[in-house]
Amino acid sequence: MTGAAAVMTTEEIRGDAPRGVTMEEIRAAFIDMIRIPSVTGSAGEEEACAYLEKLLSRHGIAGERIAKIPSRPNLLAVLRAGGGKDALESGGDNLPPMVLISHIDVVDGDPGKWTHPVFGAVSDAGRIWGRGTLDTKHLTMMELYAFLRLAEMRNRLSRDVYFLATIDEEGGSAYGMEYVKSVRPELFAGAYVINEGGGFPLHINGRDYMMLTVGEKAVCKVRIWAEGTGGHASAPGDDQAMLKLAEGLERIFASEAELNCGSRRTHDTMREIVGSDEWDNPVGADIYGYAGQNSIGMRNYQIGERSNVIPARAETVLEFRVLPYASEQEIAEYLGRQLAGLPVRYEIMSYEPGFESHFENSRLKEFIGSLNEACARRGFSGRVLPMLALGRTDGRFFGSEGSMVYGCSPLLMGDSFDVVLPKVHGCDESILEESFTFGCQVLCEVIEKNCLKEENQ
Ligand SMILES: [Zn+2]
């Protein structure tokens, strides 16, 4: 971990006195950030971190680098409730901290397949084009806009607010959020987190909705194998490892529907809000189905090494994606039932728990309420619809029972989920200019609503 400040010239340090943030400034910074090719593991990660550090310092806020190795820093900045600048701990009465997270590393792009340069941030047809415009530098800038606005009103903060931009999210987060958690565990206890993964609109059954992620599925990896008698391929015997494994797999996949564990609260809430089980938007229908069922996938398999030899062992790895709060034990029991009596063995290699925001506590309702209001005020008439994130994000390091991790970078209908999904990690990633402005304003309003005391209080 290093606490080194950004390398700045004396002029920059003396520079202008802190001033209020504007949309023009944030848009310009967004363009600059897209032009930094911060591909995971490249020098661009550090460059993007330094850029944000400098921007914060222009507003009088010192960022702290948190780095496993100095060339791959994450950036943390803090606003203390009550305006305390140097307080090490927040006052006793304050609410749990709000943590604004996003990742500033990006996946690479194939320039031959893009309409505009991958890191060009070209403005064309009302859109800004470039890697990171949706995953997730747009969110970084939306959060930063809100953070800098809050900085101007820090005397009214009801909770501490953290801005945390990480690297290595696309590489598994060992240098990013996982490392930050290992050295700053206090940030992760009971925090109120704004994350990536949601905020995309969808048109379902004649109405507009804004998807808000409120949880993530658990991922469990299981090695499963069978042994038999090996030998030359010219004389296959009855005792073949491959055939035994195949029978085991057939049973496991045939009974997938019996893997009936975990919470379906998000799924049920989705049905309630849309008012139907039949969704006419295919992407929406997939997202709805995903929140209601467990699935098993086969990652890879290892059967023999030479074409003329019957292998003595056949092995594969299954990946279970199960609903929040489905336990490792429940998966083990399911496997035990399916494989009973078969000469097939299994071993749980890893289990990463899922999570879901607490539906019984009022914070989710409050959050949805303030998001609905802010959207309506900015001309988006749809309703907020909760969902489970489609995969795992850095939010998993914050998720736990009763957690408050919301995936929310609000966008307009022109950047609906159907439009956005193929572009993330694909080509021609781009965001509508007006979506970006809308997202900055809406998220800022929601964050202010949840972090500021009423005036005159
Ligand atoms: Zn990504």
Band (pLDDT 50/70/90 cuts) for residue 18 is: low
CA–CA dist 375, 379 (Å, integer)? 6
Fold observed for domain 218-259+294-352: Alpha-Beta Plaits (3.30.70)
Is the pLDDT assigned to residue 454 strictly greater than 70?
Answer: yes
Cα 177 to ligand 1 centre (Å): 14
Cα 393 to ligand 1 centre (Å): 8
Is the pLDDT assigned to residue 20 strictly greater than 60?
Answer: yes
Long-range contacts of 121-129 (CB under 8 A, 24+ apart): 121/30, 121/31, 121/32, 121/34, 121/35, 123/31, 123/433, 126/432, 126/433, 126/434, 127/430, 127/431, 127/432, 127/433, 128/30, 128/31, 128/34, 128/430, 128/431, 128/433, 128/436, 129/428, 129/429, 129/430
pTM for the model stands at: 0.89
Cα 8 to ligand 1 centre (Å): 31
User: By the 8 A CB rule, do 59 and 151 touch?
Assistant: yes
Mean pLDDT of 377-388: 93
Cα 354 to ligand 1 centre (Å): 19
Cα 186 to ligand 1 centre (Å): 26
Which pairing describes strands 218-227 and 207-216: parallel, antiparallel, or unpaired?
unpaired
pLDDT of residue 87: 40
Over residues 65-78, the pLDDT tens digits come to: 999 999 999 999 99
Cα 106 to ligand 1 centre (Å): 7
Ranges 216-225, 271-280, 391-400, 443-452: which has the least confidence: 391-400
Is the pLDDT assigned to residue 258 strictly greater than 50?
Answer: yes
Cα 171 to ligand 1 centre (Å): 9
Cα 41 to ligand 1 centre (Å): 14
Is the pLDDT assigned to residue 34 strictly greater than 90?
Answer: yes
Cα 152 to ligand 1 centre (Å): 32
Cα 361 to ligand 1 centre (Å): 30
Structure tokens at 266: 């998000």
Cα 170 to ligand 1 centre (Å): 6
195: helix, coil or strand? strand
Over residues 423-440, the pLDDT tens digits come to: 999 999 999 999 999 999
Instruction: Delimit the domains of the chain by residue range.
Output: 10-213+355-451, 218-259+294-352
pLDDT of residue 234: 64
Average confidence score pLDDT of the chain: 90
Cα 107 to ligand 1 centre (Å): 7
Ranges 153-157, 188-192, 216-220, 321-325: which has the least confidence: 188-192
Cα 42 to ligand 1 centre (Å): 16
Mean pLDDT of 107-116: 96
Cα 169 to ligand 1 centre (Å): 7
Mean pLDDT of 284-297: 95
pLDDT of residue 94: 64
Is the pLDDT assigned to residue 7 strictly greater than 50?
Answer: no
Mean pLDDT of 258-277: 94
10-213+355-451 CATH choice from 3.30.930.10, 3.40.630.10, 3.40.50.1010, 3.50.50.60: 3.40.630.10
Cα 132 to ligand 1 centre (Å): 8
Over residues 157-211, the pLDDT tens digits come to: 999 999 999 999 999 999 999 999 999 998 888 888 999 999 999 999 999 999 9
Cα 298 to ligand 1 centre (Å): 22
Cα 426 to ligand 1 centre (Å): 10
Cα 295 to ligand 1 centre (Å): 22
Is the pLDDT assigned to residue 324 strictly greater than 90?
Answer: yes
Cα 243 to ligand 1 centre (Å): 39
Ranges 124-133, 310-319, 324-333, 337-346: which has the least confidence: 310-319
Cα 380 to ligand 1 centre (Å): 26
Kindly state the percentage of the chain with pLDDT values over 70. Answer: 89
Residue among 171, 27, 155, 5 at smallest CA distance from 84: 155
DSSP 375-437: HHHTT---EEEEEE-SS--GGGGT--TTBEEEE-----GGG-HHHHTTTTTSSS-EEEHHHHH
Cα 101 to ligand 1 centre (Å): 14
Cα 410 to ligand 1 centre (Å): 17
Is the pLDDT assigned to residue 124 strictly greater than 90?
Answer: yes
